[in-house]
Amino acid sequence: MQGTQNLNALEELVRQSVYRQLGLDKSTAATAPNKLLVNISARHCHLTQEAVEILFGEGHQLTPKKWLYQDGQYAAEEAVTLIGPRSRIISNLRILGPCRDINQVEIAYTDARALGFDVPVRQSGDIEGTPGCMLMGPKGYFKMDKGVIRAAIHVHMSPEDAAHYGVKDKDFMQLKVHGECGLTFDKVFVRVNPDFKLEVHLDTDEGNACGLGENTVCELKKIK
């Protein structure tokens, strides 16, 4: 127990030192109730149970492969092949579980260009007017008439986090990423739910553009 307390104290001292060197706002960073995580969300899809059974066989259930940071969410063992315009494909497209009530594919801008898609930036679930695609699994094909998007940058947070940052559900915030390739994202969509942990999701293009790494210092700010 004493060793854990000493480690926590050391981590806090290092954190405060970094904040001072970078000039971060301690009121919204060092004193935040929960640690901010900024993660890259690689291309993936969300499927209904109906789609899963068409692709993998009647009665098939998704099998968790890796549990994600948000409680109850996981990357499944199952993956599919995405067939885009002019028969260009992305193989091994990971399914994230559990099943949802809509089918949605989330890819980055580079993926869309490679596939020949004109894909809009959307919030998750906002799929009207988006392009569709064909998915191929070991047991069949599933045609999506819509649902291929580039997911907008967003932050998951609890009501406690929202109160600390002075924001509410569906607001926008800024994310400043420090480092050699540091930059600021100005339209981070806020999602507030009691079950959420504080986490920002970027896609692979956005993560690569700012040089995001495991130890990259990031700062979440309310837009003034």
- State how far the Cα of 66 lies from the Cα of 77, in Å rounded to an integer: 8
pLDDT band, residue 31 (cuts 50/70/90): confident
> Does residue 210 lie in a domain region?
yes
Q: Quote the domain boundaries for residue 199.
A: 25-39+153-222
Same domain, residue pair 110 and 166: no
pLDDT above 60: residue 124: yes
- Read off the pLDDT of residues 131-186 as tens digits, 9 standing for 90 and up: 999 999 999 999 999 999 999 999 999 999 999 999 999 999 999 999 999 999 99
> Mean pLDDT, to the nearest integer, of 17-27?
51
What does each C-alpha distance from 40 to 69, 84, 168 come to in angstroms?
12, 23, 23
Same domain, residue pair 174 and 211: yes
> Does residue 215 lie in a domain region?
yes
> Mean pLDDT, to the nearest integer, of 16-38?
66
Same domain, residue pair 143 and 84: yes
Q: How many domains is the chain partitioned into structurally?
A: 2
pLDDT band, residue 5 (cuts 50/70/90): very low
CATH number for the domain spanning 192: value is 2.40.40.20
User: pLDDT value at position 171?
Assistant: 98
Same domain, residue pair 123 and 57: yes
> Mean pLDDT, to the nearest integer, of 115-119?
94
Element (DSSP H or E) covering residue 15: helix 2-22
Please tell me the pTM assigned to this model: 0.86
> Does residue 99 lie in a domain region?
yes
User: pLDDT value at position 224?
Assistant: 82
> Does residue 4 lie in a domain region?
no
* Listed residues 121, 150, 179: the one ending a domain: 150
- Read off the pLDDT of residues 41-96 as tens digits, 9 standing for 90 and up: 999 999 999 999 999 999 999 999 999 999 999 999 999 999 998 889 999 999 99
User: pLDDT value at position 28?
Assistant: 52
User: pLDDT value at position 30?
Assistant: 59
DSSP string, 80-134: EEEE-GGG-EEEEEEEEES--SS-EEE--HHHHHHHT----EE-TT--TT---EE
Contact of 140 with 98, CB cutoff 8 Å: no
Beta carbons within 8 Å of 94's beta carbon, 6+ residues apart: 42, 43, 44, 45, 75, 76, 79
User: pLDDT value at position 14?
Assistant: 47
User: pLDDT value at position 23?
Assistant: 52
> Does residue 7 lie in a domain region?
no
> Does residue 51 lie in a domain region?
yes
Same domain, residue pair 48 and 35: no
Closest C-alpha among 11, 22, 34, 12 to residue 217? 22
> Mean pLDDT, to the nearest integer, of 216-223?
96
Same domain, residue pair 161 and 200: yes
User: pLDDT value at position 25?
Assistant: 54
Element (DSSP H or E) covering residue 12: helix 2-22
- Read off the pLDDT of residues 174-219 as tens digits, 9 standing for 90 and up: 999 999 999 999 999 999 999 999 999 999 999 999 999 999 999 9
